[in-house]
Structure 1
Amino acid sequence: MSDKDPHAAHEPSPGGLATPEHASEYGSAVLTGARVRLRAAEPADLERLASWYRDAEFTVLQSETFQIASQAETVEQMKKWFSNDGVRGGGNFAVESLDSGEVVGGVNIWGGRLPERAGTLAIQIGGPFVGKGFGTDALRVAVDFAFRELGLNRLQLTVAAFNSRGIKAYQKAGFVVEGRRRQATFHDGRFHDQLLMAILFEEWAGSRG
């Protein structure tokens, strides 16, 4: 077991990938955080992700409307969302716990094409793993990947204004509130606002000194 700082490999070096050794270290660490690893989703992962996405307790936080669909239908949707075939300016990942090897959620980044280089992020953490730090770590890894490897200038997301837990996690990852879409979602007999949040490359780089 290495006694290195687990976050050290994620810090950009002034000279970039100056040596083959540094390049190898970067490659092995760019998708790995303190608690999670981002990797391609396998068929069994899609079943779990679909089950969580259909969970009524959490779908209200993940979608603008309840997803009234069968497991099979939702798995087919996950196949589309988590495919990396032909993806440019983004990436789709299962979130795997480093301790247990279990899949605990998923992350999607899309739309980061030239000339804007502005991508959009979505994250899902399975119900049993909410509030245990997996989402915070997965966000940090995803943001690092977006700026260090995808070359994005901006990463954005939307979140329901009532999702205070999610907003706090996004703010911890460096996202700031840029705007408010008034009454953009509907749940429980009333309309709710939706927030637009984003982080820029210069903000991400500045937070690392």
Structure 2
Amino acid sequence: MENMKEYQTHMQEKPIFSIIGEKVALGPIRRELIPLYQRWINDFEVLRTLHIPRPSTLEEIQASYEADVAAERQRKVVYFTIYDRDTLQPIGRTDLCNINYRDRTADFGIEIGEAAYRGRGYGTETIRLMLDYAFTGLGLHNIMLETWEYNRAGQGAYKKAGFQEIGRRHQAKFMNGKFWDIVYMECLSTEFVSPVLGQILVPDELR
């Protein structure tokens, strides 16, 4: 019984990781992190590059979490919590949505909720790991995203990870008294080299 208590305590302290990189690790979204997810989505600095800034209640985020879990069951979307690999601190969320297994396409999204982790390469590595998961893990071919013209830091991270700009919808986003372009970017599996999963998701050698 004592060993079981120690095991349960250990499991509570150490989150489950599915993909591990050099600086970040990705694991499933967790119900006990809903208050943290709510804090991130109420940070207008986070929302500046995601949605129209507005407050979100705990009840709203709880309902959103249940919808996310239901969508994952239907294989329409995959959500990950982003962790600092060294401290195990949750620092954001990332996802693949609108997954189309027939045409092998999906859309990508990311939010780094903890301000201290922005601009330090954590987002760029997360993007690479998610592309690796999309291409190597799911066998997809084309991953697309949209961002705003004024999100220059995000565009830099996307390009470093492998995305390329493919087009714009001009002056279709309003912020700070000005109209900005919506920027569309994509990455193809044929333009990407697996950093992690290509060494894990491999067949057994013949004996």
Choose 52-61 or 154-163, whichever is displaced more.
Answer: 52-61
Q: CA separation in 2, counterparts of 1:70 and 1:102?
A: 23
Of 111, 127, 147, the match for 1:159: 147
Aligned equivalent of 1:32: 20
Unaligned ranges ≥5, structure 1:
1-28
Q: CA separation in 2, counterparts of 1:89 and 1:77?
A: 15
> How has the CA–CA distance of structure 1 residues 185 and 121 changed in structure 2, closer, same or farther, with 3 Å as cutoff?
same
Q: CA separation in 2, counterparts of 1:50 and 1:150?
A: 29
> How has the CA–CA distance of structure 1 residues 128 and 49 changed in structure 2, closer, same or farther, with 3 Å as cutoff?
farther
Of 30, 41, 47, the match for 1:42: 30
Shift in Å, 1:206: 9.5
Unaligned ranges ≥5, structure 2:
1-16, 196-207
The one-letter amino acid of 1:180's match is: R
Shift in Å, 1:69: 2.6
Aligned equivalent of 2:61: 74
> How has the CA–CA distance of structure 1 residues 30 and 81 changed in structure 2, closer, same or farther, with 3 Å as cutoff?
closer
> How has the CA–CA distance of structure 1 residues 93 and 82 changed in structure 2, closer, same or farther, with 3 Å as cutoff?
farther
Q: CA separation in 1, counterparts of 2:110 and 2:194?
A: 24
| Structure 1 residue 138 corresponds to structure 2 residue 154 | no
| Structure 1 residue 168 corresponds to structure 2 residue 168 | no
SS in structure 2 at match of 1:146: helix
Shift in Å, 1:133: 1.9
Alignment map for 1:78-117 (pairs within 5 Å): 78-81=65-68, 85-88=72-75, 90-117=77-104
Shift in Å, 1:194: 0.8
Alignment map for 1:117-132 (pairs within 5 Å): 117-126=104-113, 127-132=115-120
Q: Give the conservation status (yes or no) of the 8 Å contact 1:110–1:119.
A: yes
TM-score between both structures, scaled by the size of structure 1: 0.77
Alignment map for 1:47-66 (pairs within 5 Å): 47-63=35-51, 65-66=52-53
> How has the CA–CA distance of structure 1 residues 134 and 203 changed in structure 2, closer, same or farther, with 3 Å as cutoff?
same
Q: CA separation in 2, counterparts of 1:128 and 1:87?
A: 34
Segments ≥4 residues shifted beyond 6 Å: none
> How has the CA–CA distance of structure 1 residues 30 and 163 changed in structure 2, closer, same or farther, with 3 Å as cutoff?
same
The count of aligned residue pairs is 180
SS in structure 1 at match of 2:183: strand
**Between the two proteins, what is the percent identity of the paired residues?**
26
Alignment map for 1:11-22 (pairs within 5 Å): none
The one-letter amino acid of 1:109's match is: L
Q: CA separation in 2, counterparts of 1:175 and 1:31?
A: 20
Of 178, 188, 201, the match for 1:200: 188
Shift in Å, 1:82: 5.7
Q: CA separation in 2, counterparts of 1:159 and 1:200?
A: 18
SS in structure 1 at match of 2:53: coil
TM-score between both structures, scaled by the size of structure 2: 0.78
Q: What root-mean-square deviation, in Å, do the aligned CA atoms of Structure 1 and Structure 2 show? A: 2.4
